[in-house]
Amino acid sequence: MASKPLPRPPRLDPVRLNNLVENADAFFGPGSTYDGRHFSRPSFDGADLSSTDFLECELAAPTFDGAELRGTRFRDTILTDCFAPVLKASRTSWRDVEITTPRWGSAELYDSTWANVRIDGGKLDFLNLRAAKITDLQISDCIIGELDLGGASATRLALKNCRIGTLDIQQATLKDVDLRSTDFRTLNGIASLAGAAIDEYQLGLLAPILAAHLGITVA
Q: What is the pLDDT of residues 198-211, one digit of tens each?
A: 887 776 667 666 75
How high is the pLDDT of residue 121? Answer: 97
190 pLDDT band, cuts 50/70/90, is confident
How high is the pLDDT of residue 217? Answer: 62
Q: What is the pLDDT of residues 113-149, one digit of tens each?
A: 999 999 999 999 999 999 999 999 999 999 999 999 9
Alpha-carbon distance 215 to 110, whole Å?
A: 32
DSSP β-bridge partners for residue 93: 73, 113
Q: In 81-182, at which residue ranges do the beta strands (DSSP E only) sit?
A: 83-88, 93-100, 103-108, 113-120, 123-128, 133-140, 143-148, 153-160, 163-168, 173-178
Interior/surface letters 112-149, b for 16+ CB within 10 angstroms, e for the rest? bbbbbbbbbbbebbbbbbbbbbbbbbbbbebebebbbb
Of 69-73, 88-92, 184-188, 202-206, which range is least confident?
A: 202-206
How high is the pLDDT of residue 202? Answer: 73
Measuring CA to CA, which residue among 169, 78, 173 is closest to residue 127? 169
CA atoms within 13 A on the CB side of 138: 20
How high is the pLDDT of residue 198? Answer: 87
Q: What is the pLDDT of residues 140-177, one digit of tens each?
A: 999 999 999 999 999 999 999 999 999 999 999 999 99
Do residues 47 and 67 make contact, with C-beta atoms less than 8 angstroms apart?
yes
Is pLDDT of 33 > 80? yes
Q: What is the pLDDT of residues 39-87, one digit of tens each?
A: 999 999 999 999 999 999 999 999 999 999 999 999 999 999 999 999 9
Q: Edge to edge, what strands does the sheet with 83-88 contain?
A: 83-88, 103-108, 123-128, 143-148, 163-168, 183-188
The identity of residue 63, as a single letter, is T
Alpha-carbon distance 194 to 218, whole Å?
A: 23
